[in-house]
Amino acid sequence: MGTGPALFRIAPGAQEGERIAGAVTTPSGSGSVSGNLVLRFTGPGDLLASGHPQDGNLPENLPLIRSSDHGATWRAVDGTAEGDYHELESAGDMILAVSVDAPDVLISRDGGKTFEKKTPPDRPIDVVVNPKDAQQLAVSTEQGTFISSNGGDSWRPRDTAFGARLTWPDELYSVDPNGAVRASKDGGQSWEERGNVGGIPSVIASGRKDELLVGVVGGKVRRSTDGGRKWSTAATLH
Protein backbone atom coordinates (compact mmCIF):
# COMPACT_ATOMS: atom_id res chain seq x y z
CA MET A 1 0.00 0.00 0.00
CA GLY A 2 1.19 3.48 -0.88
CA THR A 3 -0.07 5.95 1.70
CA GLY A 4 1.81 9.14 0.81
CA PRO A 5 4.07 9.28 3.88
CA ALA A 6 5.30 5.69 3.38
CA LEU A 7 5.08 2.54 1.31
CA PHE A 8 3.93 -0.56 3.20
CA ARG A 9 3.99 -4.27 2.50
CA ILE A 10 1.57 -6.45 4.48
CA ALA A 11 2.45 -10.13 4.57
CA PRO A 12 -0.37 -12.70 4.55
CA GLY A 13 -1.80 -12.91 8.06
CA ALA A 14 0.33 -10.02 9.38
CA GLN A 15 -1.36 -7.55 11.71
CA GLU A 16 1.00 -4.67 10.94
CA GLY A 17 2.39 -3.30 7.71
CA GLU A 18 6.14 -3.24 7.07
CA ARG A 19 7.63 0.00 5.75
CA ILE A 20 9.68 -0.53 2.60
CA ALA A 21 11.64 1.77 0.29
CA GLY A 22 11.87 0.07 -3.07
CA ALA A 23 14.68 0.81 -5.52
CA VAL A 24 13.60 2.07 -8.94
CA THR A 25 15.43 2.16 -12.27
CA THR A 26 14.23 4.19 -15.26
CA PRO A 27 15.87 5.46 -18.47
CA SER A 28 16.23 8.83 -16.71
CA GLY A 29 18.11 7.50 -13.69
CA SER A 30 17.71 5.50 -10.52
CA GLY A 31 16.84 6.00 -6.87
CA SER A 32 14.11 4.88 -4.48
CA VAL A 33 10.36 5.26 -4.73
CA SER A 34 8.37 7.40 -2.32
CA GLY A 35 5.30 6.25 -0.44
CA ASN A 36 3.25 8.40 -2.79
CA LEU A 37 2.47 5.58 -5.21
CA VAL A 38 -0.76 4.27 -6.67
CA LEU A 39 -0.38 0.46 -6.71
CA ARG A 40 -2.34 -2.28 -8.44
CA PHE A 41 -1.75 -6.02 -8.69
CA THR A 42 -1.78 -7.27 -12.28
CA GLY A 43 -1.06 -10.89 -11.31
CA PRO A 44 0.37 -12.92 -8.41
CA GLY A 45 3.32 -10.90 -7.11
CA ASP A 46 3.25 -8.52 -10.08
CA LEU A 47 2.64 -4.85 -9.29
CA LEU A 48 1.95 -1.89 -11.57
CA ALA A 49 2.38 1.59 -10.12
CA SER A 50 2.50 5.29 -10.81
CA GLY A 51 3.98 7.94 -8.58
CA HIS A 52 7.07 9.79 -7.49
CA PRO A 53 10.65 9.06 -6.39
CA GLN A 54 11.96 9.56 -2.88
CA ASP A 55 15.54 10.30 -3.90
CA GLY A 56 18.09 9.75 -6.64
CA ASN A 57 18.64 11.42 -10.00
CA LEU A 58 15.03 11.11 -11.14
CA PRO A 59 12.35 13.52 -12.38
CA GLU A 60 9.45 14.47 -10.11
CA ASN A 61 7.02 12.17 -11.93
CA LEU A 62 7.94 8.60 -12.81
CA PRO A 63 6.77 6.67 -15.86
CA LEU A 64 4.65 3.61 -15.17
CA ILE A 65 6.72 1.14 -13.15
CA ARG A 66 6.46 -2.58 -12.42
CA SER A 67 7.71 -4.83 -9.64
CA SER A 68 7.82 -8.63 -9.59
CA ASP A 69 9.29 -8.93 -6.06
CA HIS A 70 6.57 -7.36 -3.91
CA GLY A 71 7.88 -3.81 -4.22
CA ALA A 72 11.56 -4.36 -3.36
CA THR A 73 12.70 -3.29 -6.84
CA TRP A 74 10.95 -1.45 -9.65
CA ARG A 75 11.63 -0.88 -13.35
CA ALA A 76 10.04 1.54 -15.78
CA VAL A 77 7.57 0.03 -18.23
CA ASP A 78 9.18 0.32 -21.66
CA GLY A 79 7.78 3.11 -23.80
CA THR A 80 5.72 4.82 -21.08
CA ALA A 81 6.01 8.54 -20.41
CA GLU A 82 6.32 10.37 -17.11
CA GLY A 83 2.91 10.97 -15.58
CA ASP A 84 1.14 11.96 -12.39
CA TYR A 85 -1.81 9.61 -11.96
CA HIS A 86 -3.93 9.55 -8.80
CA GLU A 87 -5.96 6.58 -10.04
CA LEU A 88 -4.73 3.47 -11.84
CA GLU A 89 -6.53 0.24 -12.74
CA SER A 90 -5.53 -2.85 -14.69
CA ALA A 91 -8.01 -5.22 -16.34
CA GLY A 92 -6.66 -7.80 -18.77
CA ASP A 93 -4.83 -5.91 -21.50
CA MET A 94 -6.39 -2.60 -20.44
CA ILE A 95 -4.87 0.06 -18.21
CA LEU A 96 -7.14 2.85 -16.95
CA ALA A 97 -5.65 5.99 -15.44
CA VAL A 98 -6.73 9.39 -14.18
CA SER A 99 -4.24 12.27 -14.17
CA VAL A 100 -4.20 14.73 -11.30
CA ASP A 101 -6.80 17.47 -11.85
CA ALA A 102 -7.67 16.15 -15.35
CA PRO A 103 -11.29 15.70 -16.52
CA ASP A 104 -10.63 12.50 -18.45
CA VAL A 105 -10.43 8.75 -17.99
CA LEU A 106 -7.35 7.54 -19.89
CA ILE A 107 -7.56 4.09 -21.47
CA SER A 108 -4.56 2.17 -22.84
CA ARG A 109 -4.48 -1.17 -24.63
CA ASP A 110 -0.75 -1.22 -25.34
CA GLY A 111 0.66 -1.40 -21.82
CA GLY A 112 0.53 2.34 -21.15
CA LYS A 113 2.49 3.56 -24.17
CA THR A 114 -0.50 5.44 -25.56
CA PHE A 115 -3.80 6.49 -24.01
CA GLU A 116 -7.21 7.35 -25.40
CA LYS A 117 -9.19 10.03 -23.57
CA LYS A 118 -12.79 9.47 -22.47
CA THR A 119 -14.51 12.33 -20.64
CA PRO A 120 -17.26 11.60 -18.06
CA PRO A 121 -19.77 14.27 -16.92
CA ASP A 122 -17.56 15.36 -14.00
CA ARG A 123 -13.92 15.02 -12.98
CA PRO A 124 -13.25 11.33 -12.18
CA ILE A 125 -12.24 10.29 -8.68
CA ASP A 126 -12.25 6.51 -9.08
CA VAL A 127 -12.74 4.35 -12.17
CA VAL A 128 -13.27 0.59 -12.59
CA VAL A 129 -14.16 -1.81 -15.40
CA ASN A 130 -16.51 -4.79 -15.43
CA PRO A 131 -14.22 -7.86 -15.61
CA LYS A 132 -16.86 -9.63 -17.74
CA ASP A 133 -17.37 -6.74 -20.18
CA ALA A 134 -14.49 -4.38 -20.96
CA GLN A 135 -16.91 -1.90 -22.54
CA GLN A 136 -18.69 -1.33 -19.22
CA LEU A 137 -16.98 1.26 -17.03
CA ALA A 138 -17.96 2.90 -13.75
CA VAL A 139 -16.61 6.26 -12.62
CA SER A 140 -17.22 8.06 -9.34
CA THR A 141 -17.30 11.85 -9.20
CA GLU A 142 -18.45 14.63 -6.89
CA GLN A 143 -21.80 14.41 -8.70
CA GLY A 144 -22.18 10.68 -8.08
CA THR A 145 -21.35 7.48 -9.97
CA PHE A 146 -21.80 7.18 -13.73
CA ILE A 147 -21.81 4.04 -15.89
CA SER A 148 -20.75 3.66 -19.52
CA SER A 149 -21.68 0.62 -21.60
CA ASN A 150 -19.70 1.69 -24.68
CA GLY A 151 -16.16 2.11 -23.43
CA GLY A 152 -16.59 5.66 -22.16
CA ASP A 153 -18.24 7.27 -25.22
CA SER A 154 -21.40 8.07 -23.23
CA TRP A 155 -22.37 7.93 -19.55
CA ARG A 156 -25.53 7.45 -17.46
CA PRO A 157 -25.97 8.50 -13.81
CA ARG A 158 -26.47 5.43 -11.59
CA ASP A 159 -25.85 6.66 -8.03
CA THR A 160 -26.02 10.02 -6.28
CA ALA A 161 -23.46 9.23 -3.54
CA PHE A 162 -20.59 11.61 -4.19
CA GLY A 163 -16.88 10.79 -3.99
CA ALA A 164 -17.29 7.01 -3.66
CA ARG A 165 -14.51 4.45 -3.89
CA LEU A 166 -15.28 1.64 -6.32
CA THR A 167 -14.25 -1.92 -7.07
CA TRP A 168 -15.78 -4.39 -9.52
CA PRO A 169 -14.77 -8.04 -8.97
CA ASP A 170 -18.11 -9.76 -9.65
CA GLU A 171 -20.56 -7.27 -8.22
CA LEU A 172 -19.95 -3.50 -8.43
CA TYR A 173 -19.13 -2.17 -4.94
CA SER A 174 -19.32 1.44 -3.77
CA VAL A 175 -18.01 2.84 -0.46
CA ASP A 176 -19.09 6.43 0.19
CA PRO A 177 -17.10 9.00 2.23
CA ASN A 178 -19.04 8.00 5.38
CA GLY A 179 -17.91 4.37 4.97
CA ALA A 180 -21.30 3.00 3.87
CA VAL A 181 -21.01 0.01 1.53
CA ARG A 182 -23.42 -0.80 -1.28
CA ALA A 183 -23.33 -3.43 -4.01
CA SER A 184 -24.92 -3.76 -7.42
CA LYS A 185 -25.38 -6.96 -9.41
CA ASP A 186 -26.74 -5.20 -12.50
CA GLY A 187 -24.12 -2.60 -13.35
CA GLY A 188 -25.42 0.11 -11.07
CA GLN A 189 -29.09 0.03 -12.04
CA SER A 190 -30.05 -1.10 -8.53
CA TRP A 191 -28.12 -1.16 -5.26
CA GLU A 192 -28.20 -3.24 -2.08
CA GLU A 193 -27.21 -1.67 1.22
CA ARG A 194 -24.43 -3.64 2.93
CA GLY A 195 -22.35 -2.71 6.01
CA ASN A 196 -20.02 0.12 6.99
CA VAL A 197 -16.21 -0.04 6.90
CA GLY A 198 -15.95 2.06 10.07
CA GLY A 199 -13.88 4.91 8.69
CA ILE A 200 -13.25 7.27 5.79
CA PRO A 201 -12.15 5.14 2.81
CA SER A 202 -9.03 6.07 0.85
CA VAL A 203 -8.78 2.98 -1.37
CA ILE A 204 -10.68 -0.26 -1.94
CA ALA A 205 -9.63 -3.55 -3.50
CA SER A 206 -11.12 -6.99 -3.92
CA GLY A 207 -9.49 -10.27 -2.97
CA ARG A 208 -10.76 -13.81 -2.99
CA LYS A 209 -14.47 -14.56 -3.39
CA ASP A 210 -16.56 -12.02 -1.45
CA GLU A 211 -13.38 -10.55 0.12
CA LEU A 212 -12.99 -6.76 0.19
CA LEU A 213 -10.10 -4.73 1.58
CA VAL A 214 -10.40 -1.02 2.37
CA GLY A 215 -7.70 1.35 3.54
CA VAL A 216 -9.24 3.95 5.86
CA VAL A 217 -7.90 7.28 7.02
CA GLY A 218 -5.91 6.83 10.22
CA GLY A 219 -3.81 3.84 9.14
CA LYS A 220 -6.07 0.81 9.25
CA VAL A 221 -6.84 -1.82 6.63
CA ARG A 222 -10.38 -3.08 7.05
CA ARG A 223 -11.45 -6.48 5.67
CA SER A 224 -14.74 -8.15 4.83
CA THR A 225 -15.19 -11.76 3.74
CA ASP A 226 -18.93 -11.63 3.13
CA GLY A 227 -19.30 -9.01 0.42
CA GLY A 228 -19.13 -5.95 2.66
CA ARG A 229 -21.67 -6.84 5.35
CA LYS A 230 -19.30 -7.30 8.29
CA TRP A 231 -15.86 -5.71 8.74
CA SER A 232 -12.81 -6.23 10.94
CA THR A 233 -9.36 -4.68 11.11
CA ALA A 234 -6.93 -6.79 9.08
CA ALA A 235 -3.80 -4.72 9.73
CA THR A 236 -2.56 -1.36 10.98
CA LEU A 237 0.03 0.95 9.43
CA HIS A 238 2.44 2.97 11.58
Query: What's the pLDDT tens digit per position in 157-216?
Result: 999 999 999 999 999 999 999 999 999 999 999 999 999 999 999 999 998 888 999 999
Pairing of strands 172-175, 165-167: antiparallel
Q: Is the pLDDT of residue 86 over 80?
A: yes
Q: Which residues of 71-107 are buried (b: 16+ CB within 10 A; e: fewer)?
A: bebbebbeebeebbbbbbbbbeeebbbbbeebebbbb
In the chain, what are the domain boundaries?
A: 1-83
Residues in the chain, total: 238
- What is the pTM (predicted TM-score) of this model? 0.92
- Please report the sign of the dihedral spanned by the C-alpha atoms of residue 192, residue 209, residue 130, residue 46: positive
Rounded percentage of the chain residues whose pLDDT exceeds 90: 81
